Structure 1
Amino acid sequence: MASMSSRIAVAASGAARKIGAALDSMGAGMEVAKYTERLVPSSRIVSVNGVSPALSGANNFIAPSASVIGNVTIGEHSSVWYGATVRGDVNTLKIGSKTSVGDRAVVHVAKIQGDHPTYIGDNVTIGACAIVHACTIEDLVVIGESAQIMDGASVSTNSIIAPASIVTPGTKVPSGELWSGSPAKKVRSLTADEIASISESAHDTLELAYLHAVENSKDYKQLIEEDEDRLDRKLRKKAWFDPNIPDPDDVLGQGVPGRIFNSTLTNPEEGLKFKAKRDAKA
């Protein structure tokens, strides 16, 4: 009996699928302008060959439009900004703590032209549109906007690469120097203030990353509430009653005596809740 019931259920489900497909085909044929809906997968965190990026946790800020791909390790408090790509698909890629990869920057590795992983240390600031390719960048370094650090190159600690400069393959940048040009060459030694500014740059970017992380974590309900509150405060006149501001004439959270539409006597527990909430804010 059970076998007969299962066969009937299978036959009925098959018939239902065929009817549904026929109706879908009929509807598509009636469309004036054909439209195919496609789901676009997220490219923020992408696995390659079963290897997923390893992030330190909630302390990282990965922008919604950024891509972190493959065998990538990112330390605490580091950030990957809007449109940036960090790609460890053919080799390993490691980024330290409190390091930022700027907007539309590309960090990659190499295997075809040489087996070069990419290592980036702590407190490194990589500027917007920079290219960091199969190289080593030690702690406390600033890579300027649109600069390029190429295969096998290394940049030592407390160094600055000027914007739009190209550090050619295999080049070694010593510690405490400013390099600029294409190809990049030493311009001069850094001053004490410039060396101090390297860590300040990393710290400033970290604080900004915290701000963006909070804003990007909000759901649509929070955004709607904030927009309504902003509009309310923009249009509200000072004389209007604001329930969030304690009235000095309020008595035990029950409203102002003699004032209509401002009493919770019909629901006393609501007044007590309001009083407790007000006292907690104070």
Structure 2
Amino acid sequence: MHRPGVTIVPIHGRAPQIHDSAFIAPGCVIIGDVTIGADSSVWYNCVLRADTSRIVIGARTNIQDGSVLHCDPARPGDPDGAPLIVGDDVLVGHMAMLHGCRIADRGFVGLGAIAMNKAVIGSDAMLAAGAMLTEGKVIADRELWGGRPARKMRDLDDMAIAGMRMGVAHYAENAKAHAAAVGGL
């Protein structure tokens, strides 16, 4: 499939695998061992660089404008390294930085937030805008963490969870309009 204005770079014998229904906006750079699932969207000027390990993006997930995603290789004492694994129905806000972490299905990463190696964001959990989740920290399901370094602020109620799900639906629909506008689908 033709993806106008998108730079796709195979490296070390690995090429990005992007589902045909995924929207990748112009200006994005997708490098190496990256997998992007069905109906997901990667918005304008994002960089997904999997040159040392792998990046997996699930279905219906959105990676918003200007975000940077990377991973770390295996090292002595750490044979698995730090791949970046993002589940289904995840919202990743503008200019987020995700590095070798894991985000469970329906997780949320706020604007400008940072999640570092081996950090985990649980299902229906949120890392607040501008927060920094340091290496190895775990946000349990339905928790909101914020600050630098991030700490638990409170549990999320059903209304907050519903709002996050509405955000996922909005981005999935809006991606179709953008894809049509740029000729990418």
TM-score, reference length from structure 1: 0.61
Alignment equivalent of 1:197, drawn from 149, 163, 184:
163
- Shift, 1:51, TM fit: 1.1
- Shift, 1:53, TM fit: 0.4
CA RMSD of aligned residues (A): 1.4
Q: Deviations over 1:207-230 (max 9, x none)?
A: 111100000008xxxxxxxxxxxx
Q: Which residue of 1 aligns with 2:13?
A: 50
Distance 1:83 1:161 in 2: 22
Q: Are the counterparts in 2 of residues 97 and 123 from structure 1 also a CA contact under 8 Å?
A: yes
Alignment equivalent of 2:68, drawn from 101, 106, 109:
106
Q: Are the counterparts in 2 of residues 62 and 79 from structure 1 also a CA contact under 8 Å?
A: yes
Distance 2:71 2:45 in 1: 18
Alignment equivalent of 1:138, drawn from 65, 86, 104:
104
Q: Which residue of 2 aligns with 1:69?
A: 31
Matched position secondary structure for 1:90: strand
Distance 2:134 2:119 in 1: 7
Equivalent pairs counted in the alignment come to 176
Distance 1:47 1:116 in 2: 20
User: Radius of gyration: which is bigger?
Assistant: 1
Matched position secondary structure for 1:208: helix
Q: Are the counterparts in 1 of residues 74 and 82 from structure 2 also a CA contact under 8 Å?
A: no
Distance 1:97 1:149 in 2: 20
Of all paired residues, the percent bearing the same amino acid is 34
Unaligned runs of 5+ in 2: none
- Shift, 1:50, TM fit: 2.3
Q: Are the counterparts in 2 of residues 154 and 172 from structure 1 also a CA contact under 8 Å?
A: yes
1:53-202 alignment to 2 at 5 Å?
53-57=16-20, 59-111=21-73, 115-202=81-168
Distance 1:102 1:112 in 2: 28
Residue 102 of structure 1 aligns with an amino acid whose one-letter code is: Q
TM-score, reference length from structure 2: 0.91
Distance 1:134 1:163 in 2: 19
- Shift, 1:67, TM fit: 1.0
- Shift, 1:112, TM fit: 6.8
Residue 211 of structure 1 aligns with an amino acid whose one-letter code is: A
Q: Are the counterparts in 1 of residues 57 and 86 from structure 2 also a CA contact under 8 Å?
A: yes
Greater helix proportion: 1
Q: Are the counterparts in 2 of residues 44 and 62 from structure 1 also a CA contact under 8 Å?
A: no
**Which of 1 and 2 has higher RCO (CA within 8 Å, sep 6+)?**
2
Unaligned runs of 5+ in 1: 1-41, 219-282
1:20-31 alignment to 2 at 5 Å?
none
Poorly superposed stretches of 4+, deviation over 3 Å: none
